[in-house]
Every structure is written in C-alpha cells, then in structure tokens.
Amino acid sequence: MSQTGGGSHSLAFRVMRLCRPSFNVDPPLRLHPSDLFVGEDIFDDPLAASSLPPLLSPTTSSPSPDPNYRHRFLLHHSSDAMGLSALLVLPQSFGAIYLGETFCSYISINNSSTFEVREVIIKAEIQTERQRILLLDTSKSPVETIRAGGRYDFIVEHDVKELGPHTLVCTALYNDGDGERKYLPQFFKFIVANPLSVRTKVRVIKETTFLEACIENHTKSNLFMDQVDFEPAQSYTSTILKGDGHHSKRESLIRETFKPPILIRSGGGIYNYLYQLKSSTGSSAQSKVEGSNVLGKLQITWRTNLGEPGRLQTQQILGTPTTKKEIELQVVEVPSIINLQRPFVLKLSLTNQIDRELGPFEVSLSENESYVERVVMINGLQSMFVPQVAALGSTEFQLNLIATKTGIQRISGITVFDSKEMKSYEPLPDLEIFVNMD
C-alpha cells in the first residue's frame, strides 16, 4: 500500500501525560574558592585570614570572561550545594496511575501536511470495561480550520474511579486538503492500579468500640497522608486517638515551621490509625440493632508529588454483629449476709425484650461443665418454673440457693430454658458472693 495514498493522515495526535511537575534535584559540582585555591588550614595564619578573603571573593577575581559560566563552578550561597533551586521539570515518563487520582493529559492535534484541514470535529473519551466517559467533543462547534503546520491543543482531566485497563480514545473527523472527509482514531492505553490497602480490627471494650485501621502503600512514591477521617454511621460518634510521639526539645523549638508529617513509604510502607467510637444515643439497649453492626467508613486523602491529590473511601466497616437478645435475665437482690450451709434467696428478674409473649420458662443451674465441684447449689427443686411473660413485660422470681464452702464463691450457670420453644439461653454471668462461717 502506498504510504502517501489515502492511508496517510494530515493530522496526528500528540499526547503527553500532564501530572504535576517535580522539583529538579541535582547537587551540583560547585564549591567555594577557599576550598580550591588554598590549603584547608591556611586561615590559621592571621595574615592570610585578613588578606585572603577579598582575593577569594568571586566579584574581585578577574573581570567576567565571556562566556561567563562562573555560576556552574562557584557557589553563590552554601545551600546551592543541595541542588534544590526550585527549578521545575516536566514529567519525563508516563509513570503509574492509581485509583483515586486524576488523569490529566495535554493533547495536541498537529497538521503536519502542507495543506489546510477544515471542519475538524475532535472527540476525546475514556473507555473502561464498564463505561465510556466523554471528555471533549467539538461536534457542536467544530474547529473551522487548522493551517498547514498548525496545531489545536486541549487538556483533558478525568478522575480515575475504576481499576484495570483504561483507554484514552482520541478521534478527529476532518476535511483534508482534497476535500475528503477523513476519520482519524488514535488510542492510548493505561492501567489503573490500587494504591492502598486498608486492614481493620474492631475491639469492643464495655461501651466503647475501638477501630484500628492499618494503611499500606502499594504505590511507587511516598504518600503524604493529608487526611484520614473516619466517618461514623449515624449511631456513633468517633474520635481519633493519637499517641504522644517523641518530641525532642530541638524539634519543639522549631515546631512552628515543622510539624512532623505523616509520610508512608513507597512500596509497602504502613501506618496505623486508631479511632474510638461511642454510641451516640447513649442507651445501650436502644442501640442494639438486629443484624450487622455498621460502624462507618474511612475517607482517605493523600498527596504525592507537589501536592498531586488522591482520594478514596473504604466500604462500610462492620463491627461485631449483635443479635438482639430476646430475654434479659438480671439479678435484682443478693442478701448482704450469706452463711455457710444456710439457705438464702436470690431475687432475679426476667424481661421479655421482644414484641410477642414468651415462655413458660424453667430456670435451673446448667450442667456443671468444669471439673471443679459447684459450690453454690439450688436448695430444693432443681428447676424453677416461671410462667409466661407478656410482650415487652417482665417478671420477678426467687431462687433458693445454698453455699457449701466459705469465702469468696461464685454462683454460676443460672440458665433459662424456654419450654415452649425448647431452647435455652446464655447462662447468667458468674456472680461473686462471700460466704461466712456460721
């Protein structure tokens, strides 16, 4: 096929990823004249100390030669040696792109032919596995003309919200020099990877839930953690817990300029966050909802190179699921003095927490599972009959007990058995009592 025939296009797309520029870091080969012209200890000599400095100062040496490249050889200021002059450099390679970042690209459509092209309709869109997103479309107002050797430029931006392969599709529909309507498609493929992984651990201590989140950085750059906020579900309030890090005295002197940033190292670095969640409704009974316990989600914002932002949020983080308890068994009264081998009475209440009648019940001491002989036993009939309890109602009853040993003992294993449903509930937690000598 001929190369100059219908196959060749007058137009061509040139694409360059336009993420933020970086500072050029290049420690230079530059020095102070006193480190080159003379021996290092010459200034020990008072005569040299007074006479040399004017001689060594750059401005008094021979008049500026032409061309003058003194600035590539001598230091103007000591910190020039660091090589960080704030000179910016354009991104030199495509680099990696991650979920949560913004893909930004400079697109230039060049007319490299020797004739003008007209009525150019340009389109740019991103195609992923799931969708096509239109970034630019000049159909409504086509570019009237691009002269020979001319260009039409545009910059597109797209927030990356999907993983996997993406294609930037650039198309141009135009009339070439011969008046022929031509179509030029060009494709640019890139892959979006996952920048972070978040591992969580939930611990419940009494009324408080603690959420530990560990963030791991899978990218090739260090991530500056701008904000890692936990957004709790409606029934919770959350506070972040921060440790008191080591703050040396020196650091605290310059604290105003320098606040230690949270920087997670590239390629596997981690950082942990700890949140304390409290139930916002106050009453524990009300907040126990049947089913899974949604705690909330993490909103993560990070920055890389020159503040290039990225943001992600996790899925809903779940706490330990709480099942609603149907009945609540509580101790109402324990006698103040319990004597050895003297029967005593334990008052209990049984509350029906659901909206239908439950019962009748049998209350007894469960089978002794441990090897240790049970010290406190039921005095009399081994199981207590408790009649039905109405919906959301409660009833009180008494258990006759007797202790067989002195000292601190436990009443354990008081279990409620629903005779109608044929199921037993969790036993009452152990109750400690003190048994006196008679």
Partner 1 sequence: MESSSPRSESQMDPLSTPSFSTLNDLCHDLTSLQDLANRGAWRSVIDKVSRARALNLLQNPHDHLTYLAYNALAFAKLRRFNEASAELDSMEDLDSHHYRYETYPKVYPNRTGSMVPFSLRWLHALLPIKLGHRNQGVDRLYTLLDFVRDKIRDKEKNNLEHSVQIWKKREVFVVNCIIGNHLSHKEFTVCLSLLNELLSRDSLDLLLVSQLGYVQLQIGDLEGAKVSFSKVEDMVEEAKKGNGNGSLLLNEIEMMNLVNRNKALVYLVGKDYVSAVREYEECIERDGSDVVALNNKALCLMYLRDLSDSIKVLENALETVPTMALNETLVVNLCSMYELAYVNHSDIKRTLSNWIARVAPDDFDATCTRTTSLQTLLWTVNDRRSSSKKLSSKKLPHHQLSKPTAHLQNFLNILVDEKRIDLQKAIAKEYEFVYSTIIDTELAMVKLESQHWA
Task: Please give the Cα distance from 319 to 287 (Å, whole number).
Answer: 13
Cα–Cα distances in Å, from 265 out to 97, 226, 304, 312, 388? Answer: 17, 14, 11, 18, 63
Q: Is the CB of 93 or the CB of 315 nearer to partner 1?
A: 93
CB of 114 to partner 1, least distance (A): 12
Asked if residue 245 binds partner 1 (CB under 8 A), the reply is: no
| Nearest to partner 1 of 312, 346 (CB atom) | 312
Q: Rule CB under 8 A: which of 388-417 touch partner 1?
A: none
C-alpha distances in Å from residue 338, one per residue of 39, 69, 405, 426 = 96, 100, 11, 26
Binder to partner 1 among 13, 230, 236, 273 (CB under 8 A)? 13
Least CB distance from residue 141 to partner 1, whole Å?
Answer: 17
Quote the tokens at residue 411. 């009443």
Task: Calculate the CA 223 to chain-centre distance.
Answer: 11
Question: Could you give the string, one character per residue 257-296, with x where binding to partner 1 holds by CB under 8 A and - elsewhere?
Answer: xxx-x-x--x------------------------------
Count the neighbouring beta carbons within 10 Å of the beta carbon of residue 267. Answer: 11
d(CA 394, CA 374): 29
**Does residue 254 interact with partner 1 by CB under 8 A?**
yes
Helix (H) or strand (E) holding 47: helix 46-56
Least distance in Å: CB of 312 to partner 1? 15
253 binds partner 1 (CB under 8 A): yes
Cα distances from 213 to residues 229, 265, 316, 436, in angstroms, run: 11, 17, 13, 50
If one asks whether residue 335 binds partner 1 (CB under 8 A), the answer comes out as no
Q: Which of 55, 241, 270, 391 binds partner 1 (CB under 8 A)?
A: 55
129 part of the interface to partner 1, by CB under 8 A: no
Kindly tell me which residue out of 42, 134, 136, 214 binds partner 1, with binding defined by CB under 8 A. Answer: 42
Phi, psi torsion values for 359, nearest 5 degrees: 110, -175
Q: Where in 56-75 is the site for partner 1 (CB under 8 A)? A: 61-62, 64-73, 75
**CB closer to partner 1 out of 2 and 234:** 2
Q: Which is nearer to partner 1, 44 or 290 (by Cβ)? A: 44
Q: Residue 36, SS3?
A: coil
CA–CA dist 215, 243 (Å, integer): 17
Binding mask of the shown chain, residues 141 to 180, with x at each position contacting partner 1 by CB under 8 A: ----------x-xxx-----------x-----x------x
Q: What is the DSSP letter of 59?
A: G
Q: Does position 139 bind partner 1 by CB under 8 A?
A: no
For residues 187 and 168, is the Cβ–Cβ distance under 8 A?
yes
Tell me how far apart the alpha carbons of residues 151 and 108 are, in angstroms, rounded to a whole number. Answer: 7
d(CA 381, CA 398): 12
Judged by CB under 8 A, the residue of 57, 134, 183, 385 near partner 1 is 183
State in angstroms the smallest separation of the CB of 98 from partner 1. Answer: 14
Position 37 contacts partner 1 (CB under 8 A) = yes
Instruction: Report d(CA 266, CA 262) in Å as an integer.
Output: 13
Between 12 and 375, whose beta carbon lies closer to partner 1?
Answer: 12
The reply on whether position 134 binds partner 1 by CB under 8 A is no
Q: How far is the CB of 430 from partner 1 (least distance, A)?
A: 51
The reply to whether 138 sits near partner 1 by the rule CB under 8 A is no
Least Å from the CB of residue 408 to partner 1: 55
User: What gap in Å lies between CA 249 and CA 379, rounded to an integer?
Assistant: 69
Residue 248 or 370 having the CB closest to partner 1: 248
Torsion of Cα atoms, 67 then 72 then 77 then 83, to 10°: 150
